[in-house]
Amino acid sequence: MKGRRVLFLIPTVLIVVTPAFCAADGAWLNHVPAKDHGRKNPYEGRADAVAAGRIVFSDHCSKCHGENAQGTKKRPSLRSARVQQQATEGDLHWLLVNGNMARGMPSWAKLGDPQIWQVISYLRSLSQ
């Protein structure tokens, strides 16, 4: 009887654990609509946008992602290859607007597009 319980539990554990691992490895990127994926940052290359984005990041993001965006025990680094190289600016904008509450990421739509794009400018500056 115990053997049957173990065999029954394996698929159940996989169903519960697999989505968590997918979200942790950037599966959210698969949910970004094509129209959002291709969006471009109107502030790209502007030092004033990077400076403003650093302030917005400090006020709203650093509590979870760390002062230097290196991540914390519970939240990922924003200096990772996934954020810096794999995700487009449009992907990052989509995530900031929509959030991912299942992973603890709130929507920051209330900031408005200018501040969201400034945060993205700041994040992109971290890889330089």
Domain count, the chain: 1
Residue 121, in any domain of the structure: yes
Residue 21, in any domain of the structure: no
Sign of the CA dihedral with 41 first, then 43, 48, and 52 last: negative
Strand partners, 101: none
- The residue range of the domain holding 121 is 31-125
In the predicted structure, residue 128 carries a pLDDT above the cut 60: yes
Residue 119, in any domain of the structure: yes
Closest by CA position to 63, among listed 106, 28, 110:
106
Residue 91, in any domain of the structure: yes
Residue 10, in any domain of the structure: no
At 47-79, the pLDDT tens digits run: 999 999 999 999 999 999 999 999 988 899 999
At 85-124, the pLDDT tens digits run: 989 999 999 999 999 888 889 999 999 999 999 999 999 9
CATH of the domain at 59: 1.10.760.10
Residue 12, in any domain of the structure: no
